[in-house]
Amino acid sequence: MDESIAYFKGVKGETTKLTVVGNVRVSSVKKLQYFRWSSHLHKLILANYRRIRRAVNRMVRRLLWCLIAVWVVLVWVSNPVHAAAPLNSQPSMVIEWLKFRVDSAQRDRYIAIDNEIWTPALASYPGFLDKATWLDPNHDDEVIFVISWATREQWKAIPEEDLEQINQRFDTALGFGYDLLESKEFNVPAN
């Protein structure tokens, strides 16, 4: 950039320096330094305009994604289905889930003897709510029992000796073998 310097004698006899940069007059050194700096910055911005614009766009997009993520988390947490349950909440029910493999020809007999022996025996203990039998149409050799208990403590309070005696009576009445494939426990939360 072309720069011209001229000195003028003021009315009171002082000398004033006047710098002309391009078509712009700058009357002091500070203004000249500022003008040179801003002119240099302007040139940098023009030279790197596309790169700066892309960087700003990336930052804006990232900020928007962060805001969206925060909004999603806040909505998810405020939804009562996903809100954390109180620490001292008790489930309204506990499910005992048992899956057995039985010879498909003997499945109906297995279910009938189970209903005669196990169901009344379990129903005599406090906390027993219900027992359901599920049959998988794709596996004729599997039987699933879903036993509902009021609390886990009541379910686990059944003496082990009583369970062994019931199981011996059941095995004697049944007269053929079976396998326990899976045993699970589920909590049903209170509404």
Q: Is residue 17 domain-resident? A: yes
| Most confident range, picked from 14-28, 45-59, 79-93, 106-120 | 106-120
Tens of pLDDT, residues 95-136: 999 999 999 999 999 999 999 999 999 999 999 999 999 998
Could you list the residue range(s) of the whole structural domain that residue 117 is in?
A: 93-188
Confidence (pLDDT) at 84: 54
Confidence (pLDDT) at 57: 87
Query: Is this prediction's pTM over 0.85?
Result: no
Tens of pLDDT, residues 132-167: 999 988 999 999 999 999 988 999 999 999 999 999
Same domain for 164 and 139, yes or no, is: yes
HEC profile for the chain?
Answer: CCEEEEEEECCCCCEEEEEEECCEEECCHHHHHHHHHHHHHHHHHHHCHHHHHHHHHHHHHHHHHHHHHHHHHHHHHHCCCCCCCCCCCCCCEEEEEEEEECCHHHHHHHHHHHHHHHHHHHHCCCCEEEEEEEECCCCCCEEEEEEEECCHHHHHCCCHHHHHHHHHHHHHHHCCCCEEEEEEEEEECCC
Q: Is residue 83 domain-resident? A: no
Q: Is residue 164 domain-resident? A: yes
Q: Given 17, 50, 78, which residue is the final one in a domain?
A: 78
Tens of pLDDT, residues 30-77: 444 555 556 666 676 677 777 777 888 889 899 989 888 888 888 777
Confidence (pLDDT) at 129: 92
Q: Is residue 87 domain-resident? A: no
Q: Is residue 85 domain-resident? A: no
Cα distance between residue 76 and residue 189, in whole Å: 19
Confidence (pLDDT) at 169: 93
Confidence (pLDDT) at 114: 93
Q: Provide the number of structural domains found in the chain.
A: 2
Confidence (pLDDT) at 18: 53
Q: Given 48, 78, 108, which residue is the final one in a domain?
A: 78
Same domain for 106 and 74, yes or no, is: no
Q: Given 78, 113, 142, which residue is the final one in a domain?
A: 78
Same domain for 52 and 119, yes or no, is: no
The CATH number of residue 175's host domain is 3.30.70.100
Under the banding of pLDDT at 50, 70 and 90, the label for residue 26 is: very low
If you average pLDDT over every residue of the chain, what do you get?
A: 79
